[in-house]
Amino acid sequence: MIAVEIAVLGGGPAGAATASLLAAAGREVLLLERAAEPRHKVCGEFLSVETGTSLARLGIDPQALGAASIERLSLWTPLGSGAAALPFRALSLSRRRLDRAILDRAVKKGAAAWRGVSVRSAEPLDTGWRLRCRQGEIIRCRTLVLATGKLAPRTLADGRDGSRVGLKMHLRLAAEAAHALAGQVELFVLPYGYAGLARVEDGVANLCLLLPAGVAAGIGSGWAALRDFLAATPALARRLDGAAALWEKPYAVVCPAGGYLRRGLPGPENPLYPVGDRLAHIPPFTGDGLAIALHSAAAAAEHICRGGSPAAYLAEMRRRIVPALRVAGVVSGLAAHRTGSVMLTGIAKYAPRLLRTIARQTRLSLPSPPSGF
Ligand SMILES: Cc1cc2nc3c(=O)[nH]c(=O)nc-3n(C[C@H](O)[C@H](O)[C@H](O)COP(=O)(O)OP(=O)(O)OC[C@H]3O[C@@H](n4cnc5c(N)ncnc54)[C@H](O)[C@@H]3O)c2cc1C
């Protein structure tokens, strides 16, 4: 058994950023990441201006990593389309490249990172926690940062629903489609969900979808089956015409239907800081999951360093996140119904400024972080 001051479960953006900031502040941190190597994850790979700001504070420049610029949003519904300039300049970068950069940064700042180690359970002790890893290691820690993303070890699960499935495929588009996509993210309202298409680094395009689990299960496996399913959405099918898939089949992940925000935490004897998706889930495409991941990481690190309580951290996060969660919930609900689709089409066609406002309202409103975070 080993003992550490702070253990971080999960080495995605939220966990790696928390570990990086804690290590930079001189705290003893051990990060445990199940995957041996950074890997592709289901994500629209859209980096908002808030995400960019948080990355800059970590010392990471997505453009130096090859991120593509995004200045416009196009919305395609079954009834028409519209486009608007984004209220900020955004970027797009594959998660494999982004996650690797943040985790490498944490190690550079002095965090210990065990990759290829999966935590099976976390049990509260009189003070602190005991972690059991699938590989047999037992770790004791005073403070636990929970950053395992969509899922959690059984003993820390929180009962959120898993009725949606996200899918992701990287593609090389035909020349005309690649040209049309330059500088913009395109959102397509599908009969049962929605899809996003944008360029990431190296001229690759990322196609990402969110569908009810039952619909996703009926598509069948492999790129050909997904492309056939998307043929029912002509605007998207045109973009995909002649595209070459870079993987045999799409990556998939389960997630909740709407927004979710963690309630309640164990008492002060067992400090637990949920960050990223473990703290909150904002509906994808209308939301800013990576900004929440990085911002919650900074807030958790700051509370831990100044000896604050998890309850105070949670209260602060609720104040910051709830407004964006509400707007994102309404917009994703609209996209799921015909009447809502009609409204969104009208907005996209005749009131693109309103589209900009919606894009702004689904972002976090972040105060300046305390110095050092
Ligand atoms: C369809 C879809 C599209 C999205 N598009 C966007 C977008 O365009 N822009 C945006 O900002 N956000 C987007 N999001 C949200 C964004 O992907 C998440 O908010 C973000 O990944 C959260 O980061 P995280 O670090 O909390 O979790 P993750 O990135 O999931 O990282 C969790 C890590 O924990 C590890 N782990 C899990 N269990 C264990 C364990 N037991 N032991 C050890 N390690 C473990 C995993 O291997 C993983 O590396 C999207 C989400 C979905 C579903």
Q: Which of 207, 277, 286, 317 to mutate to test the pocket of ligand 1 (most atoms within 8 A of CB)?
A: 277
Q: Could you read off the pLDDT of 40-59 as tens digits, one per residue?
A: 999 999 999 999 999 999 99
pLDDT of residue 365: 58
Q: How far apart are CA 363 and CA 360, in angstroms?
A: 6
Q: What is the DSSP string of 64-95?
A: TTTPEEEEEEEEEETTEEEEEEEEEEEEE--H
Atom of ligand 1 at shortest range from CA of 44: 8
The letter for the amino acid at 123 is E
Count other C-beta atoms under 10 Å from residue 33's C-beta.
26
Q: How far apart are CA 279 and CA 147, in angstroms?
A: 8
pTM: 0.94
**Ligand 1 centroid distance, CA of 14 (Å):** 8
- The confidence band for 369, taking pLDDT boundaries of 50, 70 and 90, is very low
**Ligand 1 centroid distance, CA of 137 (Å):** 25
Range scoring the smallest mean pLDDT among 116-125, 159-168, 273-282, 328-337: 328-337
Residue whose Cα lies nearest atom 38 of ligand 1: it is: 148
Q: Could you read off the pLDDT of 318-364 as tens digits, one per residue?
A: 999 988 888 877 777 776 666 776 777 777 667 766 766 666 666 65
- The confidence band for 218, taking pLDDT boundaries of 50, 70 and 90, is very high
Instruction: Verify whether ligand 1 is closer than 6 Å to residue 10 (CB atom).
Output: yes
pLDDT of residue 264: 87
Q: Could you read off the pLDDT of 15-26 as tens digits, one per residue?
A: 999 999 999 999
Atom of ligand 1 at shortest range from CA of 281: 19
pLDDT of residue 359: 66
Query: Degrees (nearest 5) of the Cα angle 123, 124, 126?
Result: 140
Strand partners, 108: none
Q: Are the C-beta atoms of residues 112 and 31 closer than 8 Å to each other?
A: yes
Q: Could you read off the pLDDT of 294-311 as tens digits, one per residue?
A: 999 999 999 999 999 999
Instruction: Verify whether ligand 1 is closer than 6 Å to residue 141 (CB atom).
Output: no
Does residue 29 register a pLDDT over 60? yes
- 339 vs 222: which has the higher pLDDT: 222
Instruction: Verify whether ligand 1 is closer than 6 Å to residue 151 (CB atom).
Output: yes
**Ligand 1 centroid distance, CA of 150 (Å):** 6
Chain mean pLDDT for the chain: 91
**Ligand 1 centroid distance, CA of 367 (Å):** 24
pLDDT of residue 372: 46
